[in-house]
Amino acid sequence: MKKDFIELPESMKNINFYGFSWIDFLTSIPSPLFVVSTYKSNGKPNACLQSWVTFTGVDEENFVAIMASVNKNGHMYKSIKEAGEMVLNFPSAEIYPKCMETIKNNDFGDDEITKSGLTVEKAKMVNAPKIKECFLNLECKYLWEKELMEGHNVVMCVKVVNVSMDNEYYDEKIKGRYGKTGYIYNIHNPINPETGIMEGDSIGIIEKIK
Average pLDDT over residues 194-201: 92
Average pLDDT over residues 73-98: 95
Question: How far, rounded to the nearest angstrom, does the alpha carbon of residue 143 sit from its chain's CA centroid?
Answer: 18
* Residue 42, in any domain of the structure: yes
* pTM of this prediction exceeds 0.85: yes
Name which of 172, 169, 177, 180 is nearest 205 in CA terms: 180
Average pLDDT over residues 57-66: 94
How confident is the prediction for the chain on average, in pLDDT? Answer: 95
* Residue 114, in any domain of the structure: yes
CB 73 within 8 A of CB 79: no
Tally the domains of the chain: 1
Residue 48: which CATH number? 2.30.110.10
Average pLDDT over residues 5-11: 95
* Residue 12, in any domain of the structure: no
Which pLDDT value is given to residue 74?
A: 87
Band of pLDDT at residue 173, cut at 50, 70 and 90: very high
Condensed to tens digits (0 to 9), the pLDDT of residues 137-166 reads: 999 999 999 998 887 789 999 999 999 999
Contact partners, residue 63, CB within 8 Å, separation at least 6: 55, 56, 57, 159, 160
Average pLDDT over residues 121-128: 97
Give the SS3 label for residue 96: helix
* Residue 195, in any domain of the structure: no
Which pLDDT value is given to residue 190?
A: 95
Domain boundaries, position 71: 30-172
Which pLDDT value is given to residue 89?
A: 98
* Residue 59, in any domain of the structure: yes
Which pLDDT value is given to residue 45?
A: 97
Band of pLDDT at residue 9, cut at 50, 70 and 90: very high
Name which of 162, 21, 22 is nearest 86 in CA terms: 162
* Residue 9, in any domain of the structure: no
